[in-house]
Amino acid sequence: MAPWIAPSILSADFARLGEDVETVLAAGADLIHFDVMDNHYVPNLTIGPMVCEALRRHGIRAPIDVHLMVRPVDRIVPDFAAAGATYITFHPEASEHVDRTIALIREHGCHPGLVFNPATPLDYLDYTLELIDMVLIMSVNPGFGGQQFIPTSLRKLMDARARIDASGCEVRLEVDGGIRTDNIRAAAQAGADTFVSGSAIFGSRDYAQTIREMRQQIAITAQPAGVRHGS
Ligand code: DX5
Ligand code: ZN
């Protein structure tokens, strides 16, 4: 699957969000990562369906990747579908009935995905992988932007990649937390194909340059070993 760069708008300028999202898309982003926090499942509070809808009304056509860090999960799913979400991912610990939540997201016309915290095992995938379109590996504890990448996430990405490849299913493998130009290559080598990055993109002066550098790093991974430069 072609690699996707997913800027997290958690680090965007909320006072002029529509414009900032347009700018990051024009700079080469593939989809918009939309972090939803409830000050309950995670210790922070962000944005809800009304903001997603406002982005659609503003004219944003790119896929929106809604990352739910909320409990309960099901109540808010139809609202996000109506607001224009493309992907809806959730933390299995936050749902009473994971299979039901996946079906609910699908019934509402969105692509479902499961999110794994750094200490959460991948066992939830045993009976769900064929039902979802995205596996999201958290490489920080959820709740805040700008945290340090947790190195054990690389092993988790490799394990998830092996499961996805063995299943033969078309499932994206996304990584979220602390992704920057200097570690995106390691995440790609570990099997990620979708890269969330908040502070590293929105905190940079030139979004296009940062996204270009990220793509270059990923492309090095994709080359056969013999033609790699500087590795
Ligand atoms: C953290 C969020 C992330 C966050 C990533 O709970 O899920 O999407 O915005 O931000 P950075 O890239 O700054 O770690
Ligand atoms: Zn996120």
In angstroms, what is the span from residue 34 Cα to ligand 2's centroid?
A: 7
Closest ligand to C-alpha of residue 180 is 1
Say if residue 96's pLDDT is above 90.
yes
Transcribe 29-40 into DSSP letters.
-SSEEEEEEBSS
Closest atom of ligand 1 to CA, residue 11: 9
Rounded distance between C-alpha atoms, residue 36 and residue 42, angstroms = 10
**8: which DSSP letter?**
B
Closest atom of ligand 1 to CA, residue 9: 9
Say if residue 225's pLDDT is above 60.
no
In angstroms, what is the span from residue 168 Cα to ligand 2's centroid?
A: 26
Tell me the average pLDDT across 181-185. 98
Say if residue 231's pLDDT is above 60.
no
Q: What is the pLDDT of residues 192-223, one digit of tens each?
A: 999 999 999 999 999 999 999 999 999 998 77
Contact 136, 162 (CB under 8 A): no
Transcribe 165-226 into DSSP letters.
HHHT---EEEEESS--TTTHHHHHHTT--EEEESHHHHTSS-HHHHHHHHHHHHHHHHS-GG
Rounded distance between C-alpha atoms, residue 112 and residue 110, angstroms = 6
Contact 60, 32 (CB under 8 A): yes
Tell me the average pLDDT across 5-15. 98
Closest ligand to C-alpha of residue 67 is 2
Q: What is the pLDDT of residues 64-79, one digit of tens each?
A: 999 999 999 999 999 9
Q: What's the pLDDT score for residue 222?
A: 79
Please, what are the domains in the chain?
Answer: 4-230 (3.20.20.70)
Minimum CA distance residue for ligand 1 atom 10: 145
Tell me the average pLDDT across 118-139. 98
The catalytic residue positions are: 35, 176
